[in-house]
């Protein structure tokens, strides 16, 4: 039976309903799904290695489908615990007024995404499907019963693992030409850690910032997010360290000479990061003023990742131009 908030939402004016659906779709959030592949593409292009574009496109579509499953499932799980009833009128469950169509769409996205990943894995390595399944497992552990590790404040490390070394390793293997001994070839953990650790920390920051405006609601429903545990002041003071850690993990390979100087383009996200730091520093106690903080974090994540990918891709050409000029 639909709850009172869902019924109220169904009778909202058209303009308000369109706004709520736009918030529910959260299309900018899908930058976190495509980033591992964009990073892998930038790295391989910069290294002068061949790229399997069909595989790359298939991986991007599958990644979006799997994130759609996770987002819809999280709406369902939060509806079960009641944490969305007070402050999330843009929940898909609330907008539709019932759970069944949301559950069907979520399951359809999961099946379609995994089937596409399986087809891609057959053309590269079975390890791709294994890594993606592990990512999905971490996504379920985050909100799914009976685990609900996100309610224990463990969502951030799960997010970093899934969107960092696991997804990046899968993306790198998808782009690698198929080999007869693909099953016995190891997962490229070293490359995945170097390439994915910094951008994944930026992705984790998006999740971290999504808690600030709903601290009181989360606390009432037993959701002990890191922001609930630390309080908004201490949590806001941690945001600059997320940003510094992201850039440090990306710039160390440059200082060591493994990546070109153009990888510093990851700094394109710094203006958004600066705005995020100021917003949370000045208004962390005012939920209505910081509800958009996760979108500033998302802008930092997207620009940082795109800048790093582009910087890795154009590095050799930039160095060649510099040599010609000198």
Domain limits, the chain: 28-317
Instruction: Note whether 172 and 40 are within 8 A (CB).
Output: yes
Domain 28-317 classification at class level = mainly alpha
What phi, psi does 121 have (nearest 5°)?
-65, -35
Cα distance between residue 237 and residue 45, in whole Å: 38
Instruction: Note whether 71 and 26 are within 8 A (CB).
Output: yes
Angle between helices 232-255 and 293-325 (to 10 degrees): 20
Tokens of 59: 């991986």
Position 7 scores a pLDDT of 45
Cα distance between residue 211 and residue 300, in whole Å: 17
Per-residue confidence in pLDDT tens, the chain, 326 aa: 444 444 444 444 666 655 655 555 566 788 999 999 999 999 999 999 999 999 999 999 999 999 999 988 888 887 777 655 555 555 666 556 677 888 899 999 999 999 999 999 999 999 999 999 999 999 999 989 899 998 899 999 999 999 999 999 999 999 987 664 455 468 999 999 999 999 999 999 999 998 888 888 888 878 889 999 999 899 999 999 999 999 999 999 999 999 999 999 999 999 999 999 999 999 888 888 888 899 999 999 999 999 999 999 998 888 778 777 87
Closest CA to 64 of 110, 19, 23, 131: 110
Could you read off the pLDDT of 245-255 as tens digits, one per residue? 999 999 999 99
Whether the upstream peptide bond of residue 148 has omega within 30° of 0, thus cis, is no
pTM for the full predicted model: 0.88
Q: What is the 3-state secondary structure (H, E, C) of the chain?
A: CCCHHHHHHHCCCHHHHHHHHHHHHCHHHHHHHHHHHHHHHHHHHHCCCCCCHHHHHHHHHHHHHHHHHHHHHHHHHHHHHCCCCCCCCCCHHHHHCCCHHHHHHHHHHHHHHHHHHHHHHHCCCHHHHHHHHHHHHHHHHHHCCCCCHHHHCCHHHHHHHHHHHHHHHHHHHHHCCCCCCCCCCCCCHHHHHHHHHHHHHHHHHHHHHCCHHHHHHHHHCCCCCHHHHHCHHHHHHHHHHHHHHHHHHHHHHHHCCCCCHHHHHHHHHHHHHHHHHHHHHHHCCCHHHCCCHHHHHHHHHHHHHHHHHHHHHHHHHHHHHHHHHC
Position 2 scores a pLDDT of 46
SS3 82: coil
Position 286 scores a pLDDT of 86
SS3 85: coil
Closest CA to 308 of 30, 123, 127, 38: 38
């Amino acid at each position: 039976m639909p709850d009172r908030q869902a019924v109220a939402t169904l009778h909202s004016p058209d303009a308000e309903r369109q706004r709520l659906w736009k918030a529910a779709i959260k299309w900018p959030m899908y930058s976190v799904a495509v980033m591992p592949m964009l990073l892998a593409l930038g790295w391989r292009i910069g290294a002068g290695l061949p790229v399997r574009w069909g595989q790359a496109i298939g991986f991007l579509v599958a990644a979006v489908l799997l994130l759609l499953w996770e987002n819809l499932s999280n709406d369902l799980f939060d509806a079960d615990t009641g944490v969305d009833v007070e402050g999330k009128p843009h929940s898909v469950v609330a907008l539709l007024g019932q759970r069944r169509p949301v559950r069907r769409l979520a399951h359809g996205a999961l099946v379609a995404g995994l089937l596409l990943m399986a087809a891609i894995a057959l053309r590269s390595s079975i390890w791709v499907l294994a890594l993606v399944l592990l990512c999905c497992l971490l996504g379920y552990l985050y909100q799914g019963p009976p685990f609900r590790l996100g309610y224990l404040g463990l969502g951030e490390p799960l997010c970093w693992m899934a969107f960092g070394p696991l997804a990046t390793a899968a993306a790198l293997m998808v782009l690698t030409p198929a080999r007869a001994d693909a099953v016995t070839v190891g997962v490229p953990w070293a490359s995945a850690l170097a390439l994915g650790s910094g951008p994944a920390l930026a992705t984790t920051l998006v999740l971290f910032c999504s808690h600030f405006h709903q601290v009181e609601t989360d606390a009432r429903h037993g959701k002990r997010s890191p922001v609930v545990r630390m309080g908004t002041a201490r949590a806001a003071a941690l945001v600059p360290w997320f940003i510094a850690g992201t850039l440090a993990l990306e710039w160390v390979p440059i200082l060591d000479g493994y990546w070109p100087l153009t990888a510093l383009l990851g700094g394109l996200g710094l203006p958004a990061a600066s705005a995020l730091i100021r917003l949370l520093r000045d208004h962390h106690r005012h939920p209505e003023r910081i509800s958009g903080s996760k979108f500033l974090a998302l802008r930092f994540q997207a620009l940082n990742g795109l800048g790093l990918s582009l910087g890795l891709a154009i590095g050799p050409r930039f160095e060649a131009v510099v040599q010609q000029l000198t």
